Amino acid sequence: MAPKPDLAAFGDFSQVGHVAPALGAKLEYAISMIPCKKNEDYAYCHLSKIEGVCDGCFLLFDSHCGKDAGARCAKKFLVYLNEIFWSMVENQQYVDDRANAPVSETTGFSAFLDEAVERACAKLDEEIKKKTTSGTTLCVCFVRFGEKKIFLKFAHVGDSRAIVKNAKGECVFATKDHKPNSPEEQERIRGHYDSLHGSESYARFQDLEHVMHSPSSSRATSRGGSLRGGKTTGEGGKGRQPPSPLTPRSSGEEEEQQQQQQQRGSEDSNDNDDHSLMDNIPANVNVILGSKLSQLAVASSGGDVSNTTNGANAAANVDENAKNPNKYQVADKRISFIGQFVSDDASGSKLSEIRLFSPSGASYGMSRSIGDRNSPRSMIPVPEFSNLSFDYDTFAMVIIASDGLWDTRTNEQAALLSGTDVQKGSKKLCMLSWDDRAYSGKAMDDISVIAFSLNADAMKKNTGSSGSKSPEDGCCVIQ
C-alpha cells in the first residue's frame, strides 16, 4: 500500500490581504508529495503579491543528478525574477509606482514578464553550472485576479507538466514536455546545429540504420570486464595479470610485450574509429537524429567542431566521408545527437526511451533544463509560455506535477481521477502513482502534485440552479 502523502500546503487566497476575500476564496490549493530516497522535488505556493508581476504563483522544480539545482532555483527564482523585471528599461518609469504598472488586457500580465522569466532562468542556469553538475526542470503558474476574470500564465522547462481540467473531468489544456522524442524539439535541435554548421548538417536516420556500438559495452560484456574501467580481460575470459615486480624480464620479453600492447591498442583504435562519441557510454545507441560526417568535415575548421586531423589525413577523411555520408566524424567530439539505447544483438531491441546524448558521454531524457553542466549546447534553459483566462462563474482545476506522476498517468487519467477536491485529488494522484511504480516494477521517483481549483463555489451554485450557466460550457479561454 502506498504511504500517506505529505500534505505540504493547503488553503486559499482569502487571507492574503492584497486580494479581496470574496475573490481569494475562489482559489483553493493543495500540495501533496511522496518523496523517494532522492528527495529532489521542490514544490511550493507563493501567496505574497509581487508588484507588477502577479498576485501569487505556484512553483515546481524537479532536480536530477542531485538536489542542488532545484534547491537553488526554489530559493532564488522569484528573487531574480523581481530584480530583473524592475531593472528592465521598459519598466524604469514605474519603479516608484509599481502598483500602477500596465498589464495586457488580453493576458492580464505585463508584456515584459516573459522576457524577465527567460533572463531569470538563464541566470540560474549559468550559476548552477558553475557550482554543480545537477539540473532541474521548472513549471510555474502565475496568478492574477482581474475585475472579470482570473488570469494564469504558465512557464515550463523540461518534463514537469501542468494540465487544466473542466467540471466534467476533461483535460482541456496541457503543457508540452520538452523531450527528445518531441518532433518540435527535434526540429529545434536540428535548427540549432544547422545554424552553426550549415543547412542540413543534421540528418535523420531510419530505424537501426546507424547503430553506434559502444567499445566498452561490446568488449566488456562479452569478455566479462567492467563497463566503466579499462579492458582487463583477454580471450576466454582469462585476465591479463601484470607481471610481478620481483620477476626478472629480459629485454626481448619487454620488447615483445610492448609490441603486443601496441598491436592491441591499434586494434582498439580501429574498432573505435567510427564511434569516438561512444567512448564514455556503456551501451549501444541507435542514432535517430545526428550530424553527417561528410558535411561537417569540411566545416570543421572553426565554430563548434574541432577537427583533430590535419593535412593529408584530413583530405583522406573527406574522400572517405563522401563515400559514406551516414558515417559519423571521428573528430567531431562536440556535437550531440538524439538516440536510444539498444541491445547488443541483431534484433536491436530498444532498451530506453529516446534520449539526448552529449559528447561528454551523458544522456538526458529531456531536451531543456536549468543547469546540467555536462549537457550539450542544444539543451537550453529557455521556458515555453502559455496564457489562460477564466470567467468567475466557470469552474476549472489546475494540476502541476513532476514526472513521478506523468510517467504513470496520462493527462486524461489524471484529470478524471483527481475529482473536484484539491486536497483529496492531489493525495489520490500521488498514491496511485506510487502503487503503479511499486507493483509494475518501475523505478521509484519523487512524486509531487500541486492542485488548485478556480471558482469551486460557482460549480456548486450552477449544479443546483437550472437557470444559470452550466459549468460545462466554456471552461476556459486560451490566449
Which amino acid appears at position 247 of this protein?
Answer: T
63-76, pLDDT tens digit by residue?
A: 999 999 999 999 99
Helices 251-272 and 215-223: angle between axes, nearest 10 degrees: 120
The dihedrals phi and psi of 335, each to the nearest 5 degrees, come to -115, 125
Average pLDDT (322-332) is 42
Write out the three cell numbers for 375: 549537457
User: Could you please report the per-residue DSSP string of 315-348?
Assistant: HHHHHHHHH-TTSPPTT--S--EEEEEE-SSTT-
Beta bridge partners of 454: 27, 396
Instruction: Give the integer Cα–Cα distance in Å for 158 and 160.
Output: 6
Instruction: Give the integer Cα–Cα distance in Å for 122 and 127.
Output: 9
Q: Is the pLDDT of residue 183 over 80?
A: yes
User: Could you please report the per-residue DSSP string of 212-236?
Assistant: E--HHHHHHHHHT--SSS---B-GG
Average pLDDT (404-410) is 95
Give percent of the chain above pLDDT 90.
50
Q: Is the pLDDT of residue 260 over 60?
A: no
The dihedrals phi and psi of 185, each to the nearest 5 degrees, come to -70, -35
13 or 360: which leads in pLDDT: 13
Residue-level pLDDT at 258: 59
Instruction: Give the integer Cα–Cα distance in Å for 472 and 169.
Output: 10
Q: What's the pLDDT band for 456 if we cut at 50, 70, 90?
A: confident
119: how many CB neighbours lie within 10 A of its CB? 17
Handedness of CA 255, 257, 261, 264 (dihedral sign): positive
Q: From 400, 404, 422, select the one nearest 162 (Cα to Cα).
A: 400
Residue-level pLDDT at 231: 38
Residue-level pLDDT at 219: 37
Write out the three cell numbers for 48: 505574497
| Spatial contact of 173 and 414, defined as CB atoms under 8 Å apart | no
Which 3 state secondary structure label does DSSP give 153? Answer: strand
Q: Is the pLDDT of residue 163 over 90?
A: yes
Q: Strands 171-174 and 337-342, how do they pair?
A: unpaired
106 or 271: which leads in pLDDT: 106
Instruction: Give the integer Cα–Cα distance in Å for 223 and 235.
Output: 7
Which 3 state secondary structure label does DSSP give 56? Answer: strand
- Window from 166-175, 278-287, 319-328 with minimum mean pLDDT: 319-328
179 or 229: which leads in pLDDT: 179
Residue-level pLDDT at 135: 97
Cα 254 vs. chain centroid, distance in angstroms?
A: 52
Place of cell 515584459: 112
Q: SS3 helix, strand, coil % of the chain, rounded to 5?
A: 35, 25, 40
Residues in the chain: 479
The dihedrals phi and psi of 417, each to the nearest 5 degrees, come to -80, -20
Instruction: Give the integer Cα–Cα distance in Å for 290 and 205.
Output: 8
Which amino acid appears at position 111 of this protein?
Answer: A
Q: Is the pLDDT of residue 414 over 90?
A: yes
Residue partners of 5: CB distance under 8 A and separation at least 6 = 32, 33, 34, 426, 427, 430, 431, 447
Residue-level pLDDT at 216: 56
Residue-level pLDDT at 35: 93
| Spatial contact of 374 and 362, defined as CB atoms under 8 Å apart | yes
Residue-level pLDDT at 461: 58
Instruction: Give the integer Cα–Cα distance in Å for 131 and 148.
Output: 46
Average pLDDT (461-473) is 48
353-396, pLDDT tens digit by residue?
A: 999 998 877 899 999 999 999 999 899 999 999 999 999 888 99
Q: Is the pLDDT of residue 194 over 60?
A: yes
Handedness of CA 77, 83, 87, 88 (dihedral sign): positive
Write out the three cell numbers for 327: 558515417
Average pLDDT (204-218) is 72
Q: What's the pLDDT band for 85 if we cut at 50, 70, 90?
A: very high
109-142, pLDDT tens digit by residue?
A: 999 999 999 999 999 999 999 999 999 999 999 9
Instruction: Give the integer Cα–Cα distance in Å for 442 and 366.
Output: 19
Q: What is the mean pLDDT of the chain?
A: 79
Q: What's the pLDDT band for 476 if we cut at 50, 70, 90?
A: low
Q: From 382, 288, 281, select the one nearest 333 (Cα to Cα).
A: 281
Which 3 state secondary structure label does DSSP give 357? Answer: strand
Cα 236 vs. chain centroid, distance in angstroms?
A: 43
